[in-house]
Amino acid sequence: MELEIKELYEKWLENASDDSSLIEELKEVKDNEAEIYDRFYRSLEFGTAGLRGVLGAGTNRMNIYNVRVATQGLANYLVKNYDKSSVSISYDSRIKSALFADEAARVLAANGIKVYLSTELQPTPVVSYAVRYFKSNAGIMVTASHNPAKYNGYKCYGSDGCQMTDVAAAEVYSEITKLDCFKDVKLIDFDKAVEDGMIEYIGDEFYESYLNKVEEQSVNKGLCKDSGLRVVYTPLNGAGNKLVRKILDRIGIEDVHVVKSQEMPDGNFPTCPYPNPEIKEALEEGLKLCEEVRPDILLATDPDSDRVGIAVPDHDGSYRLITGNETGIMLTDYILSSRSKLGTLPEDPIMVKTVVTSVLVERIAEKYGCELRNVLTGFKYIGEQILELEKKNEECRYVFGFEESYGYLAGTYVRDKDAVVASMLICEMAAYYKRQGRSLCDVIDGLYREYGYYKNTTLSFEFEGASGMETMRNIMDGLRNSNVEEMAGFKIVKHADYFLSFEKDFETGIKKEIHLPKSNVLSYSLEGGNAIIVRPSGTEPKIKIYFTGVGIDQDEAAKVTNTLIDFVKNSELFFPNNK
């Protein structure tokens, strides 16, 4: 074992006494060099998504010391840039989320920074709204989104309610690297900070204000009342339970059945080890209840309630899982067609999607004369588009934005994806079509018949452990340095490298600059409208690969997609260890 790592281990064993569970963990691994190495070979890096990691003792783990030192770095950044600061803080249902939120509040208060703290767990978009509502200089949300129970994280927002920018995150990280997590962090007694007014609990009037803003995004107001829409809802043991149910009640949806085993907050996620509404396993409990009560729709929000997945009755009586792209496609068509009929579309409307989101949306936007903007993966880039419009007093032009990974936002009241407003609009959309005698399966199939079948599939390849990040870098470097002209028998029509900021047209040979922030994404547009896009996750040890298969019907599109997937899985180009 390297001497430096051994010294770090001993230092933590001696100093991490504020959380006795960490000391016990360290003692348990004292003879396990590989385990000690994994805990101390690096420090969790603070980026635009904040921190995220496995819970436990060590510099490479989520614990009170890494939360404290990150918050001290944030405090130093705020003190340098503002005369007087405040920060809004909330948390989800994960293990130690409430503790981490309290510890962050203690550090900020000790540095003379006012804290607005939620009294209980809340959805992530609430923090974005709180930053704007309280005119805070930053926001903190303690969450690891949809990761398994062993993870937690710490997400930061800027004064505009958007996720922290690259520049600001780099400055905060620079401050963090100067600090010793045991010696250089200021702390104040929590109760004293509350008594002194440095920590203020957020009151009920704030949540009423938030729900009012969500309700304002309704397209066909009053439509849901007496629609007879029946809903099964699961918050997946997370933060969505109260606000999602409140907004559904507000718009007149009363027949709501909550999945009891997943209703209450529980960071262990006992019935869904991977609490991700993208995967069927997370929805199994909800699907069981669907068989019993036969709803028009199943809603599932992830633990921090910024994303929502759905399932709807199929023509054979089973329940069909709708992908994030399909939900976004339907919402796009519903919002644009309804607002066009109602005359409520703004002049020169704009919607925004990420580069890995279905291109079918482009055709719908074009039909209704709506400008479509493509941005990098990550909802912060959609938030930045709203911000730019706001600077020009044109935020009313923004109609809708979404990403394929089940994140949606209508309205400009927040700068992040919001499962509360998405749940409301999805139910409103379902009620709208139910009044016409159509299910959401009928709707998406009708759109495919109109525009063609676009099958979008995302696969994630995990690379755990100390060598995982290096393996991911090698894969991306290998792809970037290859001169491949076809994939899976399809010619490459265009290739885009969002890190080197260029796009090459293979047919004309023309190479042009991409005017977007640098991002480690490689896109291969293939003949026939098919595509493969490769992106390492910014928060998890995995590479995501996005496939688009196009066909005259679903079977043909699925066949094309399977050909692309088989090619990637067995290709030395993507996985050099394949032989």
Separation of alpha carbons 126 and 239, rounded Å: 11
Closest CA to 310 of 340, 278, 357: 278
**Catalytic amino acids?**
145
Contact 355/375 with Cβ under 8 angstroms? Answer: yes
Beta-sheet strands, E only, within 179-330? 199-201, 230-234, 255-258, 297-301, 308-313, 319-322
β partners of residue 307: none
Rounded to the nearest 10°, the torsion over CA 209, 373, 562, 487 is -150
Give the containing element (helix H, strand E) for 302.
none
Q: Supply φ then ψ for residue 550, to 5 degrees.
A: -115, 140
Gap between the Cα atoms of 287 and 243, Å rounded: 22
Stated length of the chain: 579
Residues 6+ apart with CB under 8 A from 415: 128, 132, 157, 160, 161, 162, 163, 380, 383, 386, 387
Q: Helix, strand, or coil here: 546?
A: strand
Residue 150, exposed/middle/buried by CB under 10 A (0-12, 13-18, 19+)? Answer: middle
User: In this structure, what is the dihedral angle of CA atoms 102, 108, 114, 117, given to the nearest 10 degrees?
Assistant: -20
Can you name the residues that pair with 152 across neighbouring β-strands? 53
Tokens 């809004």 map to which residue? 88
Cα(202)–Cα(71) distance, rounded to whole angstroms?
A: 20
Q: Which two tokens stand for residue 55?
A: 């819970």
User: What residues pair up with 559 in beta bridges, in sequence order?
Assistant: none
